[in-house]
């Protein structure tokens, strides 16, 4: 966004410049690549690795998988909207209206959660990379479009009771 300062100078948002220029392509490619990597892992090696986990770790794996997939789909949706705006397929107003449906606030269990370190390293890496990408996209979105309602993103939960309740709800299908 270009904003006029009190002195009349124009300020250009770096995030806006990145989103609406060729420098958006690497971010787009990174996001889409992460979606592909996660799908391949969860459908292949991850499925086999999950069968070897303890009951606790398997439940945590299931819960995090159910967070990872929608998180990546929401980030991919945001990236696709920005690409459409870049290519002229959509106006910024159309993008703003459509992106209102995109949620960039999917949480995750804490790395201190019981069983976290028992999860396969490749899976933990995917979760962490997806969270980093989601945070980057959310910051860029806030800088480019502003946040209609300032919803602070809670840090990864470190409450062991909450983590256990989440695990129980997942185990009994109440997610």
Span 65-98, pLDDT tens digits = 999 999 999 999 999 999 998 888 998 889 888 9
Confidence of residue 127 (pLDDT cuts 50, 70, 90): very high
- Give the pLDDT score at 144: 80
Task: Report pTM.
Answer: 0.74
| Residue closest to 135 by CA, chosen among 27, 37, 46 | 27
Spatial separation of the C-alpha atoms in residues 12 and 58, rounded to whole Å: 47
Specify the higher pLDDT residue, 7 or 43.
43
Q: Using a pLDDT cut of 90, give the percent of the chain over it.
A: 50
The helix or strand, by DSSP H or E, that contains position 18, with its residue range, turns out to be helix 14-19
Q: Is the pLDDT confidence value at 162 over 90?
A: no
Segment 109-132 mean pLDDT: 94
List pLDDT tens digits, range 23-74.
Answer: 789 999 999 999 999 999 999 999 999 999 999 999 999 999 999 999 999 9
Spatial separation of the C-alpha atoms in residues 80 and 135, rounded to whole Å: 17
């Amino acid at each position: 966004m270009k904003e006029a300062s009190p002195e009349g100078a124009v300020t250009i948002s770096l995030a806006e410049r990145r989103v609406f220029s060729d420098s958006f392509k690497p971010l787009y490619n990174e996001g889409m690549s992460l979606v592909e990597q996660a799908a391949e892992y969860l459908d292949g090696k991850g499925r086999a690795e999950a069968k070897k986990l303890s009951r606790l770790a398997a439940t945590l794996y299931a819960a995090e998988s159910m967070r990872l997939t929608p998180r990546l789909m929401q980030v991919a949706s945001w990236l696709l909207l920005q690409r459409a705006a870049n290519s002229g397929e959509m106006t910024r107003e159309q993008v703003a209206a459509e992106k209102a449906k995109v949620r960039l606030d999917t949480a995750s269990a804490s790395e201190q959660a019981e069983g976290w370190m028992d999860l396969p390293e490749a899976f933990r890496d995917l979760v962490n990379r997806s969270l980093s990408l989601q945070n980057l996209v959310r910051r860029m979105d806030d800088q480019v479009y502003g946040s209609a309602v300032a919803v602070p993103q809670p840090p990864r939960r470190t409450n062991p009771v909450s983590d256990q309740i989440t695990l129980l709800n997942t185990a009994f299908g109440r997610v």
